[in-house]
Amino acid sequence: MTVERMPASLGGATSHGHLLELIRSADGLSRQQLLSTTGMSRATLYERLDTLTRRGYIYEAEPLGSTGGRPSRKIRFQDRGRVVLALTLGQTHGTVSITDTTGRQLRSETFALEISAPADSVLLPLVEEGRKLLEQGSDETLLGIGVSLPAPVEAGTGHVKHQTTIPGWSPDSVVRAVKATWDLPLVIENDARAAALGERASDAETVVYVKVGTGIGCGIVVEGSILRGAHGSAGDIGHIRMSADGPLCRCGRHGCLAAYSSGRALRDRLGHLGLTKIDDISAAAGTGDPEVLQALSDAADVLGRALAATVTTLNPDRLVLGGQIGGLPDFVEKVSSRVLTDVVERIAEGMVVEAGHPEDLAACHGLTTLVMRKIFAPDAVDQLFADEAESAAG
Amino acid sequence: MTVERMPASLGGATSHGHLLELIRSADGLSRQQLLSTTGMSRATLYERLDTLTRRGYIYEAEPLGSTGGRPSRKIRFQDRGRVVLALTLGQTHGTVSITDTTGRQLRSETFALEISAPADSVLLPLVEEGRKLLEQGSDETLLGIGVSLPAPVEAGTGHVKHQTTIPGWSPDSVVRAVKATWDLPLVIENDARAAALGERASDAETVVYVKVGTGIGCGIVVEGSILRGAHGSAGDIGHIRMSADGPLCRCGRHGCLAAYSSGRALRDRLGHLGLTKIDDISAAAGTGDPEVLQALSDAADVLGRALAATVTTLNPDRLVLGGQIGGLPDFVEKVSSRVLTDVVERIAEGMVVEAGHPEDLAACHGLTTLVMRKIFAPDAVDQLFADEAESAAG
DNA sequence: AAACTTTCGTCTAAGCATTAGACATAAGCC
DNA sequence: GGCTTATGTCTAATGCTTAGACGAAAGTTT
């Protein structure tokens, strides 16, 4: 006799990992609902739920309203007291955050730092602060750690690629600094990419996140996954060439987007006003200084022209701007209008151009998403259960 | 007692579908090799192979060389006599091809057509020619049909999107025209996207395919899958705006890439030489007409500038040029040099810029890939087996 | 030609996960 | 208290998968 099965896509959630995934995605399902959505037998499902409960993956939450008989109880993903530590490093500041499993910040501290300093001198204070922040919580369990950097990161290993922004750091400096304190799942990602992931609303969306701070970074998320390209340089839009004879860029070429629109370029242009820091510029923009506003407008216009090409190539649902410069309302407004006029209507329509969440929050959220994915990926969970069963038997 | 299992990624090929996938990807594996790679038991594997053989999915091929004992026999995916029909429609020509399961053309015929004519008057002759070509083969089984169009196509349904190039076609005109003759798996795709897929070498690569014919099309393949974007307009680079006050484009705006570099733009520029067709231009380029060469060079230069932005955004492994204009050696050369100078070295290095296979072949290959994927996707095969088992039991 | 080696093909008993379904209990509603 | 629905546990049956045996097949080596 053959059993009626659900289409594999929806409910063939037979394994522990997929069942957990189902519970984690739906916020609270009753046993009854799980039985019908998965199509599993009572005995099997209960065994699975039992195991997942015993191992602390799920718990039984409040009852749902009764429909006449005994009320069912929600089964929930065990997120109570589970936290992720996110270290988001920028060029000049770093934030240490404790987040819940959905990426919401619970506690955080921001510090000044100099990213070009030796790796350990930058990282160890942050790690130490992480330890302190963790101690402030009661009954919290740390699940994993995420670190974002304003530099290219190798996809699989999390190694820092040798590059101008972080000259002295060895590839595995972050891994070592963190692993020395916590032997837990660790994810390292470029800051713009982490923020892009943190800004995405649904898994179906294509999001382009552009960070304009000291430099220009960009993260592209297509259907929930980060676009990396052949050598991990996808989204390196700061070096789109806007003209053959433009200003000199740090990369040695002329006319790069970053030489027009980055915070560094603005600082150079506005240096004579005594604005020596990027934050000075955003502050001056707030006061309405006309020269500053004009400079921002020019920068935004060039960026908008470049992004028009990027947007035309990718047809995203959303274009999100962030960073100290990128997030300024006037800047967003100007970029938006330029992009929307330069992009053909078919692509522009329905696309949202907007300022992102405060940068740390976005990156923090993205990092938590990555950490959670790494730990609770169905296959990873199944593997873990299989390994434990094996070692118990062997 | 617990069984040692292979890592799920590699060999956990327990189901019929995944086993078939494994056999299909490796070209000829012995039973012995299958046993060790999958980790399945002899009995189970043999049952699976038996079923797959009985249903005509696989067959036993020639023996491998002996290593001292009885030689093993290769198990092969059943591709003998299996063909796919590919209809590749351009603006002015259409090709009907019979391909083997790897996408290699076996027989083909090319016709002149006018894409702006009513759908049925374009499609029915091609379908009829397809029937004739199929009759020429002996002992061939048609697995499915692929159709590529020089117009946007809706991803899931294969419906033609209402657009300027094909004004009179109803969304489902292609589906109806084909399904009336063959009730088989059908895939409909945009021509540049099909070609992009047809050009890809490995599933790990990111490939940007740019077709310069009458218009400019572009297909982007990331890790084997086609990038579509929010409304399916990803890769619509013909309307990247190259200047605010450039020539008028058909879309009503000024300065679009297509107004500089498309075959149509070249034809307009070279009209006074009596070159009224795109093919005339490529012919004249072959004879070395200096005015034509200069026009091509200019067009290529602008395209190269636009592609530099696209390439910087995506960091592809390969940039492939195709189409009547795009495939011209001088054109490729010029685009390549412009892209490679405009793109920052980190991205340019390792990237290959090259002319694609003749356009029909690439699109044809891509279509076959899509049809084969649709039919032999592991899940689809498993579903089929499950359904049949159920109906046999019920 | 005989011995050797390796694969092939089939079969069996055992193991294990999963299932259908029974049965008792719990809990809210009328 | 009766009704209804969900929960919790248990059992026999089912059926897929496995380990492993066994012999035949088909080459190589001696």
DSSP string, A38-61: H---HHHHHHHHHHHHHTTSEEEE
Rounded CA–C1' distance between B43 and C10, in angstroms: 9
3-state SS assignment for residue A320: strand
How far is B74 from chain A, CA to nearest CA, in Å? 31
The H or E element that residue B53 is part of is helix B42-54
Beta carbons of B312 and A236 less than 8 Å apart: yes
Place of tokens 């999390």: A158
Alpha-carbon dihedral angle through residues A304, A305, A306, A312, given to the nearest 10 degrees: 100
Number of CB pairs < 8 Å for A and B?
148
Per-residue confidence band for B91, with pLDDT thresholds at 50, 70 and 90: confident
Give me the pLDDT at residue B388, please.
Answer: 73
Q: Which long-range contacts (CB under 8 A, 24 or more apart) does A340-346 make?
A: A342/A304, A342/A305, A342/A308, A342/B241, A343/A308, A343/A311, A343/A312, A343/B239, A343/B241, A344/A312, A344/B236, A344/B239, A344/B251, A344/B253, A344/B256, A346/B231, A346/B233, A346/B236
Give me the pLDDT at residue B332, please.
Answer: 97
The H or E element that residue B107 is part of is strand B105-112
Contact B148, B191 (CB under 8 A): yes
Beta carbons of B2 and A389 less than 8 Å apart: yes
Lowest mean pLDDT among A145-159, B39-53, B378-392: B378-392
Alpha-carbon dihedral angle through residues A27, A32, A35, A41, given to the nearest 10 degrees: 140
For residue B10, pLDDT beyond 80: no
Most distant CA pair in chain A: distance in Å?
84
Give me the pLDDT at residue A386, please.
Answer: 81
CA distance A191 to A364: 9
Measuring alpha carbon to C1', the residue closest to nucleotide D9 is A43
For residue B393, pLDDT beyond 90: no
How far is B56 from chain A, CA to nearest CA, in Å? 23
Looking at chain B from residue 241 to 280, which residues have their Cβ under 8 Å from any Cβ of chain A? 241, 251, 253, 256
Contact A258, A239 (CB under 8 A): yes
First to last CA, chain B: 35
CA distance A79 to A71: 23
Beta carbons of B233 and A205 less than 8 Å apart: no
> In the numeric block, which tokens belong to residue B41?
């038991």
In angstroms, the Cα distances linking A12 to A21, A41, A258, B207, B229 are 12, 12, 49, 34, 29
Q: Nearest residue on chain A to B8, judged by CA atoms?
A: A379
Rounded CA–C1' distance between A43 and D20, in angstroms: 32
Helix axes B263-270, B290-314, angle to 10 degrees: 160
pLDDT tens column, B104-149: 999 999 999 999 899 999 999 999 999 999 999 989 999 999 999 9
Rounded CA–C1' distance between A66 and C27, in angstroms: 9
How many C-beta atoms surround the C-beta of residue B321 within 10 A? 24
Contact A82, A101 (CB under 8 A): yes
> In the numeric block, which tokens belong to residue A346?
């078919």
Dihedral sign computed on CA atoms, order A178, A180, A181, A187? positive
Measuring alpha carbon to C1', the residue closest to nucleotide C10 is B43
Give me the pLDDT at residue A4, please.
Answer: 30
Beta carbons of B256 and A308 less than 8 Å apart: no
CA distance A176 to A179: 5
Mean pLDDT throughout B363-373? 96
Q: Which residues in window 201-240 of A are less than 7 A from strand D by Cβ?
A: none
Per-residue confidence band for B77, with pLDDT thresholds at 50, 70 and 90: very high
List the strands of the sheet with A29-30, edge to edge: A29-30, A73-77, A58-63
| Residue B313, φ and ψ in degrees, nearest 5 | -70, -40
pLDDT tens series, chain A, 394 aa:
223 333 333 345 579 999 999 999 988 899 999 999 999 999 999 999 999 999 999 999 888 877 788 899 999 999 999 999 999 999 889 999 999 999 999 999 999 999 989 999 999 999 999 999 999 998 999 999 999 999 989 988 989 887 667 878 888 999 999 999 999 999 999 999 999 999 976 788 999 999 999 899 999 999 999 999 998 999 999 999 999 889 999 888 999 999 999 999 999 999 888 888 888 998 999 898 999 999 999 999 999 999 999 999 999 999 999 999 999 999 999 999 999 999 999 899 999 999 999 877 999 999 999 999 999 999 999 988 887 766 665 4
CA distance A277 to A268: 10
Q: Kind of pairing, strands A206-212 and A186-190?
A: unpaired
Beta bridge partners of B47: none
Nucleotide with C1' nearest the B41 CA: D18
CA distance B97 to A48: 52
Measuring alpha carbon to C1', the residue closest to nucleotide C28 is A70
Give me the pLDDT at residue B204, please.
Answer: 84
Measuring alpha carbon to C1', the residue closest to nucleotide C29 is A68
Contact B142, B83 (CB under 8 A): yes
Give me the pLDDT at residue A13, please.
Answer: 56
Helices assigned H by DSSP within chain A: 16-25, 31-38, 42-54, 119-136, 173-179, 191-199, 257-261, 263-270, 278-287, 290-314, 329-342, 345-348, 359-376, 378-393
How many C-beta atoms surround the C-beta of residue A168 within 10 A? 13
Per-residue confidence band for B11, with pLDDT thresholds at 50, 70 and 90: very low
> In the numeric block, which tokens belong to residue B147?
């159709």
CA distance B71 to B65: 6
Helices assigned H by DSSP within B58-186: 119-136, 173-179
pLDDT tens column, B18-30: 999 999 998 889 9
Rounded CA–C1' distance between B98 and D4, in angstroms: 64
* Cβ of A71 near strand D (distance < 7 A): yes
CA distance A166 to A159: 12
Give me the pLDDT at residue A391, please.
Answer: 66
Kindly list the structural domains of chain A, giving each domain's residue range(s) and its CATH number in brackets, ordered by start.
1-78 (1.10.10.10), 82-184 (3.30.420.40), 196-356 (3.30.420.40)
Helices assigned H by DSSP within A315-376: 329-342, 345-348, 359-376
Beta carbons of A222 and B222 less than 8 Å apart: yes
Greatest mean pLDDT among A150-154, A281-285, B160-164, B256-260 lies in B256-260
CA distance B88 to B115: 12
Q: On chain D, which bases lie within 7 A of the protein's CB atoms?
A: 3-12, 14-21, 24-29
Cβ partners under 8 Å of residue B66, min gap 6: none
- Among A309, A347, A386, whose Cβ lies nearest the Cβ of B233? A347
Mean pLDDT of chain B: 90
Give me the pLDDT at residue A10, please.
Answer: 38
Mean pLDDT throughout B161-183? 87
Rounded CA–C1' distance between B4 and D30, in angstroms: 40
Contact B174, B152 (CB under 8 A): no
How many C-beta atoms surround the C-beta of residue B25 within 10 A? 10
**B228 touches A at CB < 8 Å:** yes
Give me the pLDDT at residue B372, please.
Answer: 97
Per-residue confidence band for B81, with pLDDT thresholds at 50, 70 and 90: very high
| Residue B208, φ and ψ in degrees, nearest 5 | -110, 120
Nucleotide with C1' nearest the B46 CA: C9
Q: What percent of chain B has pLDDT over 90?
A: 73
How far is B384 from chain A, CA to nearest CA, in Å? 12
Report the length, in residues, of chain B: 394
Give me the pLDDT at residue B392, please.
Answer: 62
Rounded CA–C1' distance between A71 and D3, in angstroms: 14
Contact B323, B212 (CB under 8 A): yes
**A220 touches B at CB < 8 Å:** yes
3-state SS assignment for residue A349: coil
Q: Kind of pairing, strands B141-149 and B186-190?
A: parallel
Higher-confidence position of A309 and B162: A309
Q: Kind of pairing, strands A29-30 and A73-77?
A: antiparallel
